[in-house]
Amino acid sequence: MLLKTQYLTLLLLITLTVCGGNLFAQDSGGLVIQGIARNSTNIPIPNKLVHFKFRVTNSDNSINYYTESEAILTDAQGVFAHVIGNGSNQTGSLANIPYEKDGLMLTISMPVDGSENIISQQKFNYVPYAYSALNGAPSGTIISYVGSTAPDGWMLCDGSNVPTGTALKDIIGLTKSPDLRGIFLRGTGTSTSYKNSSDSFVKGPSLNGYQKDKLRDHGHDNDISVSLSNAGSHNHDYNRLEDNSGTDVTGYAAGVNKRDNFSRSTGSDGSHNHTATLSGTINDANGGAVSTETRPINYGVTYIIKL
């Protein structure tokens, strides 16, 4: 009875995807479902072989169009996937299901002690196949991961070639994983709700694009000043040397017998200042917090992307 109790909440989060109605069922051979196996405490059940029974009925379950059973192995995250039509057929045919009718139901149950324990009943959801991954994440999902090796179904965001035959390459179109080593992730496009300090709406890179590092334009306050003291209004004295003929003596020639020394003063220029030129360099910033980039405090993780 413990087994019964554990799996009654097994598929409450099951996702049913039917592609193209009857055309999909006939041409592709089945109906794709995905789910997460959880125990009674809502904890995923990893690496477990679980037996299921699938029935396609009308809206009130009065008509059973198709029934099959299958044992499915969950993955390391407790997630499983199955294509209805590939299991052990019990009644009916997928090709004869009236997909054009509204209200078709998929009932999933677990046979326990000879009884059918219904754990999920959902209406068909006719949408294009969304290439959901086997672990519940859509292909192209990028998450941070503390590990150096990607788990199954994922690959490192290190610029490596994307394997052929994966939705990441064949549907999304990526040939190489994004190289996010040393890179911060940022939302693409332009915000219509938030502005930066320049009163402009913030803008991220294009999808699958990179932005180079930049430092916003800015200035620095300059508190350096140079001044010369003001001596006020003043004169300068000088001596004037004349010979006996009254002419200036700029050099002492031979034969000059008489020289007179007269004191004179310059005219006053009034109170005034003098200009000065300051030259030199401003040293670069240095110390333990200086580097070749501007960055916040951070923690190292590995980015991985879903195949």
Mean pLDDT of the chain: 74
Cβ contact 241:248 at 8 Å: yes
What local confidence, expressed as pLDDT, does residue 229 receive? 65
Cα(129)–Cα(11) distance, rounded to whole angstroms? 20
What local confidence, expressed as pLDDT, does residue 13 receive? 36
Read off the pTM.
0.42
* Secondary-structure class of domain 2-123 per CATH: mainly beta
Q: Where are the domains of the chain?
A: 2-123, 137-212+302-307
Residues 6+ apart with CB under 8 A from 63: 57
What local confidence, expressed as pLDDT, does residue 14 receive? 40
pLDDT tens digits along 157-197: 999 999 987 878 876 788 999 999 999 898 888 888 888 87
Cα(297)–Cα(295) distance, rounded to whole angstroms? 7
Choose the most confident range, by mean pLDDT, from 78-92, 206-220, 221-235, 277-291.
78-92
Cα(154)–Cα(141) distance, rounded to whole angstroms? 9
What local confidence, expressed as pLDDT, does residue 83 receive? 85
